[in-house]
């Protein structure tokens, strides 16, 4: 079996890929994640996922490399990782009572293959009081998550609904699409 590499240092993506029970290594890609002028959130996610996979694949010829990226889209505006408590509170206030679309792209680069898939997750955020935002942020500290919420944790209490055909996409790695891409690269997760 060729070496499988996750082009990410995200603990969330690492945990998700571990669910497939395939041996893999994780490597940090060297990619500038700055959006291009006028770049739509979906295009940004796709470009970065492929760039991450290509960067690591260039260092490990013969490997199967998975790259992924997620961008939260609030009315066409990319919402990134907040980094701080104050920035997360601002994001959640802006998202309160609105729909946010999470664009999650996954790419697989392997000998003879460079393919990408994108999963779209629609999230309806309930009306949030400042007290609810503060309580949530103190409990979950989602400062490294696009959109300032961990749906796999207490962040689920912030939402009215989640719509997706690939449930792990919201956490950062759409596993249904990842499995399909791995099969295209010649790696069957159930073998």
**Is 155's pLDDT higher than 90?**
yes
Is residue 30 part of the annotated active site? The answer reads no
**Whole-number mean pLDDT of the chain?**
96
pTM of the model: 0.92
Walk me through the domains of the chain, giving residue ranges and CATH numbers. Answer: 4-184 (3.90.950.10)
pLDDT in tens, 9-28: 999 999 999 999 999 999 99
Q: Is 90 helix (H, G, I), strand (E, B) or coil?
A: helix
pLDDT at 138 over 90: yes
CA distances from 103 to 40, 128, 140, 168 (A): 10, 23, 22, 12
In angstroms, the Cα distances linking 9 to 1, 27, 29, 91, 102 are 23, 6, 8, 24, 20
What would the pLDDT profile of 157-186 be if each residue is shown by its tens digit? 999 999 999 989 999 999 999 999 999 999
Q: Which of 55, 69, 140, 166 is catalytic?
A: 69
Say if CB 26 and CB 8 are below 8 A apart.
yes
Is the confidence at residue 75, as pLDDT, over 90?
yes
């Amino acid at each position: 079996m060729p070496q499988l590499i996750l082009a990410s240092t995200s603990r969330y993506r690492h945990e998700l890929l571990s669910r497939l029970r395939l041996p893999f290594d994780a490597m940090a890609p060297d990619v500038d994640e700055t959006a291009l002028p006028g770049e739509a959130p979906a295009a940004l996610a796709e470009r970065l996922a492929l760039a991450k996979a290509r960067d690591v694949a260039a260092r490990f010829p013969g490997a199967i490399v998975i790259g992924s990226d997620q961008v939260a889209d609030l009315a066409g505006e990319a919402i990134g990782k907040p980094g701080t408590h104050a920035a997360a509170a601002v994001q959640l206030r802006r998202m309160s009572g609105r729909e946010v679309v999470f664009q999650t792209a996954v790419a697989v680069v392997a000998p003879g293959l460079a393919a990408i898939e994108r999963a779209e997750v629609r999230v309806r955020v309930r009306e949030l009081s400042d007290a609810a935002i503060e309580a949530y942020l103190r409990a979950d500290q989602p400062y490294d998550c696009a959109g300032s919420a961990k749906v796999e944790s207490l962040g689920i209490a912030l939402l009215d609904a989640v719509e997706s055909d690939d449930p792990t996409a919201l956490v950062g790695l759409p596993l249904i699409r990842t499995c399909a891409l791995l099969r295209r690269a010649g790696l069957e997760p159930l073998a």
